[in-house]
Structures are given as C-alpha cells and as structure tokens.
Amino acid sequence: MSDIRVLVVDDDFMVARIHAGYVARMPGFEVVATAHNGADAITAVAGSRPDLVLLDIYLPDMSGLEVLKAISGVDVLVISAARDVPTVREAMRGGAVNYLIKPFAAAALTERLQQYAHTRRQLSAIGPEAGQDDVDRLFGVTGTPPALPKGLSQATCALVATVLREAGRDLSAVETASLTGLSRVSARRYLEYLCGARRAELRPRYGTAGRPEHRYRWIG
Amino acid sequence: MSDIRVLVVDDDFMVARIHAGYVARMPGFEVVATAHNGADAITAVAGSRPDLVLLDIYLPDMSGLEVLKAISGVDVLVISAARDVPTVREAMRGGAVNYLIKPFAAAALTERLQQYAHTRRQLSAIGPEAGQDDVDRLFGVTGTPPALPKGLSQATCALVATVLREAGRDLSAVETASLTGLSRVSARRYLEYLCGARRAELRPRYGTAGRPEHRYRWIG
DNA sequence: GTCGTAGTGGTCGTATTGGTCGCAACCGGC
DNA sequence: GCCGGTTGCGACCAATACGACCACTACGAC
C-alpha cells in the first residue's frame, strides 16, 4: 500500500516544521505539503490531494474551523492550543478524526497517526458493502454492548455463557471446549467476546513452564 | 435539562413518520420538524434550530451528503439504506455522529439516541476548558494500548503495575515475582518496561552482601 | 590491596499454549 | 436448484513465560 499523504497546516513556521518532522519519521506516512494560513491550506488541499490534514485552529487569515468546512474529501486531524468546548465540538461536527491539544508529547501524535492508519486499513478491508457492524466499528461504538461480531451466533454464545456461569470457577479455553462440546478455537472466540463485553474476565495463570494459560471467569 | 430537539428527514413520508414516532417515544427527545427533501431539510434546520438531524442519504432533490455539508451547528445521525463504503466514509468526514443502515431494529435507533444523549451530557459536564482526556473520550478513543514490545502481554503488564502500585513501597524483582506469582525473569522484564515507559523508577540499593539490588517504585 | 563470597542482574533455549488462516458444512434467499 | 453468506473446525505459526546458566558488583576477610 502506498504512503498516506499528509498536509501540515500551522501558522508558526517552526511548529509546522516540527510536526512535519514527526510525520516524516512515521513509516507509511509522507508529508506532501505545508501551509501557514487558511487560504494556502485550501489551495494545498486542491493541489496536493493529501489523504490527511494536520490542521491548526489559530490561523492568521481565518479560523481552522472554516478551513475544515471548506475542504472536503480529506480527513483532518486537528492540532491546536484551542481547548474551549465549543471549538472542540465544532471540530467534531466538522468531521475531524481526532483532536490533539497543544502542547503534546511526540508519542501522542504518533499514537493517533497509527490509529488513523489502522482505521484506514480497516476501511479498505471492508469490501464493497459495509455491514452495520463495520460501521459501528468505524464510528467507535463505546459503552454499548457490541453486537456479536461476524461468525458468532447467539445460541452458541448463550451456551458458553451458561457453562462458564454454572462452572462456578475459572475455566481455560480447553476446559470450556470440552464442557461445551465445541472446538478449542470456537470456545476461545466466545470467551474472548464475553471478556470484551465485560461479562467475563481474563486472568492468566503462571507457574507452568510454557506459555501462560488464559483462565476465564464469569462476572455477570 | 430541556429536551433534545430533533429534525427527521426522509423522502418516504411513511418512513419519516415511523422514525418520528420512535424518537417521540424516547424520553428526553422531541421532534420539532420533518422534511422530505434536501431543500426543506436545510430550511428546517435554519427555522427550527434542532439539536439533532436524522438524515437520509437518498433524497429526491440532492444527496443527503450535500445536505450534511450545507448545514452547520447541528449534529447529524445518518439513517440510510446506502451501505457503500465511500458514502459511509464521506458521512464520517462530514461529521455524522453515527450511521444506521436501513432496515434496522427499533432498538438500534433507541440505543444510538441514548448514546447521543449521553455524549451530550458528557459535553455539558466538561466545563469551560477541555483536557486531552475529555477530548479523547468524546472522539471515542478506544485507548490503543501503547503497543507493548514483543513478548509482553497486556494482562501481565497490568498485573505487575497493579502489584507495584498497591505495594506503596519500592519492590525488588524477586519480591515482585513472589507477589505476582510469576518468575523473577518475567517480573524483571515487566518492571524494566515500566521504567522505560516512565511509569516506574529504578533505584539501586546497596548494603547487602552481594550484587546491589534494583528496587522499583511506582510513579504513575 | 587482593581474593573469596554472596546474591542478584541478564541471556538463551524450551515448553506449552494462544491466535490465525483456509476449508467444509450448513442455511437462507433469489 | 444455485449461490452468497455464516459458523465452526483442523492445522499451522507465533507468542510468552519459565529454568538454567553465566556475569557482574559490592562487601568482608586476610
């Protein structure tokens, strides 16, 4: 896959240079332009066709929020010292993929860029038609009990949950497999899901030579 | 707090009515208008000043995505049979708070509306200035665990960190091993990682016969 | 000052499990 | 009746902790 093309926008020449340096050092990313005001940013978006824009809010000629509304077809990561709630909210509404408050650690930017790259890979892996579960993943469903991922069935899930609850103790993947009649792989998948849904917890057991054993316990 | 004002947009009169019915039955929500094409939707946004728009993509006069770009100052929840990836992506970029694929269960809409109400309460509870952690919550940071080096597991890392924090004093590698139940080698690896991540500090202790002892202290 | 000793830091090989990929069987829709 | 999608499984690959060994550093005895 080709590199992710990035446009860096910051009124401070030095800051823009630093941000560009961070991005350039990230494998898989490439800085295609920098801009120091809103008008140049909009021109650069049209000219360089970046995939992602690192956008400052405080610009000499216009607000970064206006730039955000003016451009389309690109993703935007806001990087700004502006931390008032209305600005953050407007950035969200404008479709910013993330928002980083200055000053920030280099690792924070790195992390968000990696997250962006990951989301991008997810997008390209979906296929022609998205399902509701794909969409939910993209929009980051939080708090809501995640719908069963593809490949998991309601009945089997209930079976695994029942066995784990009735056991009254923690079970390993192989034990669960034996008790339910499923294969180890399937049992593990469902146990993993129950963990993600906060209906079970995972605690590794050490002491044996070899890789630690994952033991699952029901926590309804 | 006053109700959340909702504008329902769908070209199909009956569908709009059904959606409006769902919303009206939700406590804390209020339908202030309905629209059946893009132009009416834009007018209604200006006239009724809703907080949230339930927006269809397929409209007779223009695409819902165009409507999304044309309106501002309101949140948008896309409800559409359109499930191709570019459309979903463009909706994300346009700042849609969520995306529901038709047909959907009534519970799915209810869930998303509740999630929206929850996010809204979070927003108003933040105060005048947002911190990075507030922003992360809003953007649904799933907390990408800062990629541990190969050979280290998330669960074990959490275990070691917890033991070290709860100890309230500095611990040696052997003490940590005994308290966590893992071997000295593994304990030391995780302690070393925590030091590198600035979550613990290392101070050698002398006075004992034998090689000086490395003592680790939690510095969250 | 030198050497012995003690006790831990660090590395390497190994064991045993976790996790992934592709396939087969089944099911519902056109 | 065919076909795309879903669900579970077998087999492989990789991960992760342990045991054993060597190395290193301070203290104490002479």
The Cα–Cα gap between A95 and B93 comes to 4
- B146 chain-A contacts, CB cut-off 8 A: 107, 111
Test the A interface: residue of B101, B184, B185 with most A CBs within 10 Å? B101
CA triple A146-A219-A192, angle to 5 deg: 45
Query: Sorting pLDDT into bands at 50, 70 and 90, what band is A114?
Result: confident
Q: What is the mean pLDDT of residues A159-183?
A: 91
pLDDT tens digits, A47-88: 999 999 999 999 999 999 999 989 988 999 999 998 888 898
Query: Sorting pLDDT into bands at 50, 70 and 90, what band is B103?
Result: confident
Contact at CB, A129 and B92, closer than 8 angstroms: no
- A100 chain-B contacts, CB cut-off 8 A: 132, 135
Q: In this model, does residue A152 exceed pLDDT 80?
A: yes
Distance from CA of A145 to the nearest CA of B (A): 10
Distance from chain centroid for Cα A83: 22
Nucleotides of C under 7 A from a protein CB: 5-12, 14-21
Per-residue model confidence (pLDDT) at position A142? 47
Average pLDDT, chain A: 87
Task: Specify the DSSP element, H or E, that contains A86.
Answer: helix A85-93
- A141 chain-B contacts, CB cut-off 8 A: 115, 140
If DSSP codes are grouped into helix, strand and coil, which group holds residue A68? helix
Q: What is the mean pLDDT of residues B29-39?
A: 95
Q: Which two tokens stand for residue B96?
A: 């849609």
Query: Sorting pLDDT into bands at 50, 70 and 90, what band is B32?
Result: very high
Q: In this model, does residue B20 exceed pLDDT 70?
A: yes
Per-residue model confidence (pLDDT) at position B1? 65
**DSSP string covering B171-213:** EEHHHHHHHHTS-HHHHHHHHHHHHHTTSEEEEEE--SSSSPE
> How much of chain B, in percent, has pLDDT values that exceed 90?
50
**DSSP string covering B2-41:** PPEEEEEE-SSHHHHHHHHHHHHHSTTEEEEEEESSHHHH
Q: Which residue has the tokens 């209604």?
A: B44
Nearest chain A residue (CA) to B151: A211
Average pLDDT, chain B: 87
Whether the CB of A220 is below 8 Å from some CB of chain B: the reply is no
Per-residue model confidence (pLDDT) at position A147? 62
Q: In this model, does residue A158 exceed pLDDT 50?
A: yes
Task: List the 157-216 stretch of B: residues with Cβ below 8 A of A.
Answer: 159, 180-183, 186
Q: What is the mean pLDDT of residues A107-131?
A: 76
Nucleotides of D under 7 A from a protein CB: 6-11, 14-20, 23-28
Q: Which two tokens stand for residue B9?
A: 């947009």
> How much of chain A, in percent, has pLDDT values that exceed 90?
53
The beta strands (E) that lie in A86-199 are given as 98-101, 171-172
Per-residue model confidence (pLDDT) at position B52? 95
Contact at CB, B94 and A95, closer than 8 angstroms: yes
Count other Cβ atoms within 10 Å, centred on residue A108. 15
Q: Which two tokens stand for residue B90?
A: 């463009």
Q: In this model, does residue A1 exceed pLDDT 80?
A: no
Nearest to B141 by CA among A52, A68, A92: A92
The beta strands (E) that lie in A10-58 are given as 29-35, 52-55
Q: What is the mean pLDDT of residues A124-134?
A: 68
Q: In this model, does residue B199 exceed pLDDT 50?
A: yes
If DSSP codes are grouped into helix, strand and coil, which group holds residue A150? coil
- Tell me which of A39-53, B44-58, B78-92 is least confident: B78-92
Whether the CB-CB separation of B111 and B127 falls below 8 Å is answered with no
Per-residue model confidence (pLDDT) at position A128? 66
Per-residue model confidence (pLDDT) at position A143? 41
The Cα–Cα gap between B129 and A88 comes to 10
Whether the CB of B121 is below 8 Å from some CB of chain A: the reply is no
Per-residue model confidence (pLDDT) at position B138? 75
Q: What is the mean pLDDT of residues A99-105?
A: 86
Per-residue model confidence (pLDDT) at position A141? 58
The Cα–Cα gap between B160 and B149 comes to 15
Name the residue among A84, A132, A206 with its Cβ closest to that of B129: A84
From the CA of B173, how many Å to the C1' of C7? 13
Q: In this model, does residue A172 exceed pLDDT 90?
A: yes
Nearest nucleotide to the CA of B213, by C1', is C8
Which domains does chain A carry?
4-125 (3.40.50.2300), 154-218 (1.10.10.10)
Q: In this model, does residue A144 exceed pLDDT 50?
A: no
Measured torsion, CA atoms of residues B114, B115, B118, B124, in degrees rounded to the nearest 10: -120
Distance from chain centroid for Cα A60: 32
pLDDT tens digits, B126-166: 777 777 778 877 776 655 556 678 889 999 999 999 999 99
Q: Which two tokens stand for residue A78?
A: 């806001």
- A204 chain-B contacts, CB cut-off 8 A: 153, 155-156, 159
Name the residue among A101, A115, A130 with its Cβ closest to that of B83: A130
